[in-house]
């Protein structure tokens, strides 16, 4: 990992993102230091998912300044992408490819060693289900697959959108183990902030930082 | 907001409109009273001084729209989206006029309303089709950054389409060309007074387009202003 | 390059598993050829091989629409874009892979449809030069695949995408078909445009070059949000 003591992994200044006329993010300021876990809370429509998607470089910011791993978005988004591991609402996998094939595809896109895919499957407890398609997996197992996918390239920044959704007790153990191993920063959007007790909590309301 | 603080100095649209009106009057006078009647085609050839300037203006409008589309993708300034959309939109008006005047001329000289052997007319039809598609795309996407981006991308594809259409149609109709060649590599293929009239008519038509562009841009800006004010008012309420 | 190979393998694998496109394209092409056959006058063919060869190109364009409309369907329906777009790859690689996959589907379809065309229309009468026809088909397919993948990206984010894509594509198909018809019909004896064949194939190559460059440069703007 590169030395990131001075530069925060995530820095947002007056970040704005619109959807049509509506401002989903309306001037958000926040910093996430290396090794820190930021826990985003707030009701539905508060802007948590939008913020994570902007940080994941899949939504362009419309105003303000935002940088990830020291790279300004959107102009240097491509340089920031290797540092990002994103878990969204959907598992982001192809339904007609097997679990392993999906990981292998993402492995190639992230240019990781082919062995990592089996390793990642084992880590989330899916080593026997590698040849099953996502549709044949339970919801919780698909979520585990999503965790494995985001963890493949050992990102410096994990962006997790309601990662506990659908996870059973074992699944939560997997997530806990993953976060313990993770040395970098994390931004987690969740309705269960108590579960991420080690992190710093930040509440969003109507696209702004509350309080 | 500095509404009402405009100086007494006439704005660009007014200047352009006045100049366009004067030039247009001059062009009309020259077309009907000054320029000699064409030896081959007779009196009706005068439609040339409308048809060709309108066609050239259409190309210029599309070129301006495409330039602003590229600038939009580079700078992401929403006003550039308007500056790309308005010329495309005016281009349709001038393009339709080109098709109509061309068709009238075709009827007079070749006794047919539409002649597929004619490269220019067919090319224009392709461009017209492209424009309809541009508007379909624009109206299928919600206003915002995505609509601006998509419009710009499609407009830039048109830059590839126009030369390819000209080349392609010309290739497919080799030996069948009957469109009068007005210009060739050695310059204008007409005598001095005709060329002068043509130039005046072209300038008048271009200025007319510029005027329409400025007026429509002003209208769009006012719309935008009104929308912002309404938003502010709603915010206060 | 690694990303391109991985994405292409994925696109081909998806088609191999799902068999969504090629069988439908084949059935469509076959049906369209039959319609053309009857449209030209059933048993006694009006217009002869010239008209049939010209109409073959119309069938080619409409068949390719089927492949293009479903481009990026999985990414859209299952929300996979976020995963692909957050990967550190050149986004043009997504376009290049999709274009290559579409090209492959078109070639497979035509490899079966072209002999049928021969059987239906060219048994008697003078056929066009097979070499020129195949060369023109390959060049046209490449252009359709590259431009079509870009437009499919545009249309895929729009509500009425199945309707919009053909509308967006057809203006660009006109010069392509115009030249392709001229090239392939020109080789039917008695020949009308012998020396024009190379020139026409050159035009198709130019078409591919222009829209290849535009697609490569513009695709990034299409997928970002």
Q: Which residues of chain A does C7 touch, with a Cβ-Cβ cutoff of 8 Å?
A: 105, 109
- Mean pLDDT over B220-237 rounds to 82
Q: Using a CB–CB cutoff of 8 Å, tell me whether B7 touches chain C.
A: no
Q: What is the dihedral of CA C155, B152, C101, C225, to 10 degrees?
A: -70
pTM as predicted: 0.89
Out of A53, A59, A110, whose CB is closest to C87? A110
Helix (H) or strand (E) holding A209: strand A208-209
Is pLDDT at A2 greater than 50 in this prediction?
no
Mean pLDDT, chain A, whole residue set: 89
- Per-residue pLDDT band for C192 (boundaries 50, 70, 90) equals low
Is pLDDT at A54 greater than 50 in this prediction?
yes
Residues pairing with A67 in the sheet: A11, A72
> Which are the contacts of B165, defined by CB distance < 8 A and separation ≥ 6?
B123, B126, B127, C174, C175
- Per-residue pLDDT band for C79 (boundaries 50, 70, 90) equals confident
- Mean pLDDT over B206-223 rounds to 89
**Least confident residue range of A31-45, A68-82, A185-199, C114-128:** C114-128
Out of B127, B154, B167, whose CB is closest to C154? B154
What is the secondary structure of C94-143 as a DSSP string? HHHHHHHHHHHHHHHHHHHHHHHHHHHHSSSSPPPPHHHHHHHHHHHHHH
State percent of chain B over pLDDT 90. 25
Out of C13, C82, C88, whose CB is closest to A81? C88
- Mean pLDDT over B47-59 rounds to 88
- Per-residue pLDDT band for A86 (boundaries 50, 70, 90) equals very high
- Mean pLDDT over B66-70 rounds to 95
Query: Residue B7, SS3?
Result: coil
Question: What is the pLDDT, as a whole number, of residue C162?
Answer: 86
> How many angstroms separate the CA atoms of C171 and C156, rounded?
19
Question: Does the beta-carbon distance from A20 to B145 stay under 8 Å?
Answer: no
Q: Which residues of chain A does C222 touch, with a Cβ-Cβ cutoff of 8 Å?
A: none
Nearest CA in chain B to A74: B76
Question: What is the pLDDT, as a whole number, of residue A51?
Answer: 94
pLDDT digits (tens, 9 = 90+) for B12-28: 888 888 888 888 888 88
Q: Which of A74, A94, A135, A189 to mutate to test binding with chain C, by most C CBs within 10 Å of its CB? A: A94
- Per-residue pLDDT band for B5 (boundaries 50, 70, 90) equals very low
Question: What is the pLDDT, as a whole number, of residue B188?
Answer: 52
Between helix B48-75 and helix B192-236 the angle, nearest 10°, is 40
Question: What is the pLDDT, as a whole number, of residue A74?
Answer: 87
pLDDT digits (tens, 9 = 90+) for C118-157: 888 887 777 888 889 999 999 999 999 999 999 999 988 8
pLDDT digits (tens, 9 = 90+) for B69-125: 999 999 888 889 999 999 999 998 998 898 888 888 888 777 777 766 667 778 888
pLDDT digits (tens, 9 = 90+) for C2-12: 899 999 999 99
- Per-residue pLDDT band for C221 (boundaries 50, 70, 90) equals very high
Those of residues 177-236 in B touching chain A at CB distance below 8 A are 231
Interchain CB contacts (distance < 8 Å): B and C: 92
Mean pLDDT, chain C, whole residue set: 89
Indicate left, alpha or beta for A45 from its phi (over 0: left) and psi (-120 to 50: alpha): left
> How many angstroms separate the CA atoms of B169 and B122, rounded?
7
Q: Are B27 and B204 in contact (CB under 8 A)?
A: yes
**Higher pLDDT among residues C127 and C14, named by residue:** C14
Which chains neighbour B (Cβ–Cβ under 8 Å, 3 or more pairs)?
A, C
ipTM: 0.90
Nearest CA in chain C to A89: C79
Question: What is the pLDDT, as a whole number, of residue B17?
Answer: 87
Q: Which residues of chain C does B133 touch, with a Cβ-Cβ cutoff of 8 Å?
A: 167-168, 170-171
Question: Does the beta-carbon distance from C182 to B172 stay under 8 Å?
Answer: yes
Is pLDDT at B177 greater than 50 in this prediction?
no
Q: Are A126 and A154 in contact (CB under 8 A)?
A: no
Backbone angles phi, psi at C193, to 5 degrees: -140, 60
- Mean pLDDT over A88-94 rounds to 89
Q: How far does A173 lie from chain C, in Å, by closest CA?
A: 24
Is pLDDT at B43 greater than 60 in this prediction?
yes
Q: Using a CB–CB cutoff of 8 Å, tell me whether C157 touches chain B.
A: yes
State percent of chain B over pLDDT 70. 85
Question: Does the beta-carbon distance from A109 to C5 stay under 8 Å?
Answer: no
Is pLDDT at B156 greater than 90 in this prediction?
yes
> How many angstroms separate the CA atoms of A149 and B47, rounded?
68
């Amino acid at each position: 990992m590169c030395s990131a003591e001075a530069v925060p992994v995530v820095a947002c200044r007056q970040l704005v993102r619109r959807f049509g006329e509506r401002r989903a993010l309306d001037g958000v300021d926040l910093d996430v230091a290396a090794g820190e876990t930021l826990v985003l809370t707030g009701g539905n429509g508060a802007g948590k998912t939008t913020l994570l998607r902007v940080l994941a470089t899949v939504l362009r910011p419309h105003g303000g300044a935002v940088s990830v791993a020291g790279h300004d978005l959107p102009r240097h988004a491509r340089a920031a992408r290797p540092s990002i591991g994103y878990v969204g609402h959907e598992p982001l996998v192809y339904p007609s490819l097997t679990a392993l094939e999906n990981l292998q595809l993402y492995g190639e896109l992230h240019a990781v060693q082919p062995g990592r895919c089996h390793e990642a499957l084992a880590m989330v407890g899916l080593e026997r289900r590698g040849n099953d398609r996502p549709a044949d997996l339970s919801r919780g197992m698909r979520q585990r697959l999503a965790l494995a996918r985001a963890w493949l390239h050992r990102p410096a920044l994990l962006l997790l959108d309601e990662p506990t959704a659908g996870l059973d007790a074992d699944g939560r153990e997997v997530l806990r183990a993953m976060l313990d191993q993770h040395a970098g920063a994390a931004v987690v959007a969740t309705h269960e902030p108590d579960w991420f007790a080690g992190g710093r909590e930040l509440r969003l309301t109507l696209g702004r930082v509350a309080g | 907001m500095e509404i009402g603080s405009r100086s007494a100095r006439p704005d660009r649209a007014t200047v352009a409109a006045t100049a366009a009106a004067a030039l247009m009057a001059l062009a009309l006078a020259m077309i009907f009273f000054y320029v000699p009647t064409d030896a081959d085609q007779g009196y009706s050839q005068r439609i040339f001084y409308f048809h060709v300037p309108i066609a050239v203006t259409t190309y210029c409008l599309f070129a301006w729209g495409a330039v602003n589309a590229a600038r939009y993708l580079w700078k992401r300034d929403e006003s550039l989206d308007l500056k790309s959309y308005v010329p495309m939109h005016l281009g349709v008006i001038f393009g339709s006029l080109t098709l109509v005047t061309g068709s009238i001329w075709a009827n007079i000289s070749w006794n047919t309303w539409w002649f597929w052997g004619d490269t220019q007319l067919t090319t224009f039809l392709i461009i017209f089709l492209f424009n309809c598609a541009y508007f379909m795309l624009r109206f299928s996407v919600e206003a915002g950054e995505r609509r601006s981006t998509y419009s710009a991308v499609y407009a830039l594809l048109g830059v590839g389409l126009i030369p390819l259409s000209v080349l392609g149609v010309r290739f497919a109709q080799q030996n069948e060309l009957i469109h009068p060649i007005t210009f060739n590599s050695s310059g204008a293929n007409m005598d001095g007074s005709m060329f002068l009239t043509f130039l005046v008519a072209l300038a008048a038509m271009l200025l007319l387009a510029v005027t329409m562009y400025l007026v429509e841009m002003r209208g769009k800006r006012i719309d935008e202003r009104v929308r912002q004010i309404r938003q502010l008012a709603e915010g206060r309420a | 390059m690694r990303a391109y190979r991985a994405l292409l393998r994925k696109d081909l694998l998806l088609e191999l598993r799902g068999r969504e496109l090629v069988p439908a394209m084949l059935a469509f092409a076959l049906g369209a050829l039959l319609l053309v056959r009857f449209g030209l006058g059933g048993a006694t063919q009006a217009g002869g091989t010239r008209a049939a060869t010209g109409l073959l190109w119309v069938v080619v364009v409409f068949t390719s629409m089927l492949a293009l409309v479903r481009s990026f369907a999985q990414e859209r329906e299952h929300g996979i874009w976020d995963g692909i777009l957050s990967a550190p790859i050149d986004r043009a690689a997504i376009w290049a892979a999709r274009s290559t996959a579409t090209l492959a589907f078109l070639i497979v379809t035509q490899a079966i449809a072209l002999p049928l065309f021969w059987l239906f229309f060219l048994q008697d009468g003078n056929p066009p030069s097979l070499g020129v026809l195949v060369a023109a088909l390959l060049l046209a397919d490449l252009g359709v695949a590259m431009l079509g993948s870009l437009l499919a990206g545009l249309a895929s984010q729009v509500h009425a995408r199945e309707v919009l894509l053909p509308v967006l594509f057809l203006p660009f198909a006109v010069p392509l078909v115009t030249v392709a018809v001229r090239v392939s019909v020109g080789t039917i004896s008695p020949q009308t445009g012998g020396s024009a064949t190379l020139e026409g194939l050159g035009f198709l190559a130019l078409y591919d070059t222009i829209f290849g460059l535009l697609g490569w440069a513009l695709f990034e703007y299409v997928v970002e949000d």
